[in-house]
Structure 1
Amino acid sequence: MHIIKLNAIDSTNAYLKAISVKKVPKDFTVVVAEEQTKGRGQMGAHWQSETSKNLTLSLFKEVSFLKVEQQFYISKVVALAIIKTLEILNIPKLSIKWPNDILSANKKISGVLIENVIKNNKLQGSIVGIGLNINQKFFNNLPKASSLHLLTGVVYNKDEVMSLLLKQLEFYFRKLESLSFKDISEEYESLMFRINKPSTFKALNETQFIGYIKGVSEEGKLQILLEDNIIKAFDLKEVSLEY
């Protein structure tokens, strides 16, 4: 494992992407920053993080052993690695809000941005950005955000948390390399937020509907049981789960 530590950067994902343009980074190269000025989340959302209070890192993983249509397994193992890290730290009521937000009860404490490198329709590598709220106390206009400190009252050592997380990422990526797709999927779905519970969703046209989360398709689409007893699969741009 190769770890690059930075004081400030626009985005750790962007930093790794810039490196990868020149040459493919070593497998499991990690970039961690004390401050990200342009941290991003899913769908281009800004990731709010107070300087030196949280863990903001990106890692490069060689994933040519996966088919393009299997790329959502990267999201699954990253989410599971974060969950396992937080379980070790005794963070309560953990779940995965599809596709890979990590919640404690209904508070978001971690987000993931995955950018895959695909060449000639073949998966080459994956740049995995992780933001984990650790010691931050205040979140402007983000009532659903929280941190490990706010949840437990403990002031955490960020390096220790990072070390735990990297060990779990190594474990779950090894599991993925062994092609344990069934085990990974079962563990991921068992931790999904509001699985098999009546939930409210918002469609692309802003209309709301009720359904039951039943799991995730092989391609990573959210499978929802609708009122007419039909299971329909939605991608990230088509639907959002209301809390």
Structure 2
Amino acid sequence: MHIIKLNAIDSTNSYLKKLSSETSLRDYTVVITNNQTNGRGQMGAVWDSEGSKNLTFSVFKDVSNFYIDNPFFISIVVSLSILKALQSINIQKLSVKWPNDILSDNKKVCGILIENVIKQNNLQSSIIGVGLNVNQTTFNNLPSASSIKCITGIHYHLDEVLQSIIVHLKNYFSLLQNGHYEDLKQEYETYLFRKNKPSTFKGGDGNIFSGIIKNVSAAGHLQVLLEDDIVKAFDLKEITLLY
């Protein structure tokens, strides 16, 4: 594993994406920074992280020799890898809030941003951005955020947590490469936040409605049982889980 350590950078994803376009990178090349000044999350959200206390990094993954019908399986693999790495250090009550926020005891400890590189209509590589709250203990105006130190009271070595995540990434990408699609999807769904529980959602049009999360399609759409007993599939721009 090749690691590029930067003291400060606007976005590890942007840096690694540019680097991969300019040179041939080793699989699982990691760019990590102590201070990310303009971290990016899903749907243009900003990922705010206290310097030197958390893991903010991106991983280059070559998937050019994978047979992936649906890129969402990359999100499944990454989500499970981080969840399993956290389980290995005894973080409890873990779940995945669709599509790939990692929660512990219903509070967000990790955000993921995956940017796929496509050439000639073929998926070539993925830039996997991870923001994991490790040793930060104060989250101003973020009542739904937490860290693994907040949960356990233990101070963690960032390099050890990173190494564990990479080990699990390699394991799960191996399963994906070998075609274990259904097994991966089923495992992901066992950790799906609020699955089979009545929940409240906000639609893309601003309307509030109730439903029950049933599962996620292979294409990554959230499948919700609505009040009229119809299961409807939503993509990321169409729905927000409120509670």
Task: Please give the secondary structure, in 1, of the residue aligned with 2:202.
Answer: strand
Distance in 2, matches of 1:234 and 1:10, equals 32
**What's the CA shift for 1:23?**
2.7
Task: Please give the secondary structure, in 2, of the residue aligned with 1:160.
Answer: helix
**Structure 1 regions of 5+ residues with no counterpart?**
none
Task: Please give the secondary structure, in 1, of the residue aligned with 2:39.
Answer: coil
What TM-score, normalized by structure 2, do the two folds share? 0.97
Check conservation: 1:32, 1:58, Cα contact below 8 A.
yes
AA of the residue aligned to 1:237: K
Identity %: 58
AA of the residue aligned to 2:151: L
AA of the residue aligned to 1:39: G
Partner of 1:131: 131
Partner of 1:120: 120
**What's the CA shift for 1:202?**
0.5
**What's the CA shift for 1:65?**
3.6
Partner of 2:172: 172
- Number of residue pairs the alignment of both structures matches: 243
Distance in 1, matches of 2:127 and 2:55, equals 16
What CA deviation, in whole Å up to 9, does each residue of 1:176-231 have, x standing for no partner? 11111011000000100000111111101111111111111111111111111111
Distance in 2, matches of 1:237 and 1:69, equals 21
Check conservation: 2:113, 2:128, Cα contact below 8 A.
yes
Distance in 1, matches of 2:88 and 2:69, equals 32
What TM-score, normalized by structure 1, do the two folds share? 0.97
Partner of 1:142: 142
Distance in 2, matches of 1:68 and 1:208, equals 35
**What's the CA shift for 1:163?**
1.1
AA of the residue aligned to 2:119: K
Structure 1 segments (4+ residues) deviating >3 Å:
65-69
Distance in 2, matches of 1:13 and 1:24, equals 16
**What's the CA shift for 1:74?**
0.4
What CA deviation, in whole Å up to 9, does each residue of 1:39-59 have, x standing for no partner? 111011110100000001100
Partner of 1:51: 51
Partner of 1:242: 242
Partner of 1:230: 230
| 1:103-118 alignment runs, 5 A limit | 103-118=103-118
Task: Please give the secondary structure, in 2, of the residue aligned with 1:6.
Answer: strand
Check conservation: 2:185, 2:218, Cα contact below 8 A.
no
Task: Please give the secondary structure, in 1, of the residue aligned with 2:47.
Answer: coil
Partner of 2:83: 83
Partner of 1:186: 186
Distance in 2, matches of 1:5 and 1:108, equals 25
Distance in 1, matches of 2:206 and 2:171, equals 40
AA of the residue aligned to 2:160: E
Distance in 2, matches of 1:90 and 1:135, equals 15
Check conservation: 2:41, 2:47, Cα contact below 8 A.
yes
Check conservation: 2:98, 2:193, Cα contact below 8 A.
yes
Partner of 2:23: 23
What CA deviation, in whole Å up to 9, does each residue of 1:152-184 have, x standing for no partner? 111111111111111111111111111110110
Distance in 1, matches of 2:165 and 2:138, equals 24
Root mean square deviation, CA, Å:
1.1
Note if 1:38 corresponds to 2:28: no
Partner of 1:210: 210
**What's the CA shift for 1:112?**
0.1
AA of the residue aligned to 1:110: C
**What's the CA shift for 1:68?**
6.3
Check conservation: 1:67, 1:123, Cα contact below 8 A.
no
Check conservation: 2:67, 2:177, Cα contact below 8 A.
no
Distance in 2, matches of 1:203 and 1:67, equals 33
Distance in 1, matches of 2:65 and 2:209, equals 38
**What's the CA shift for 1:7?**
1.1
Distance in 2, matches of 1:204 and 1:69, equals 27
AA of the residue aligned to 2:49: S
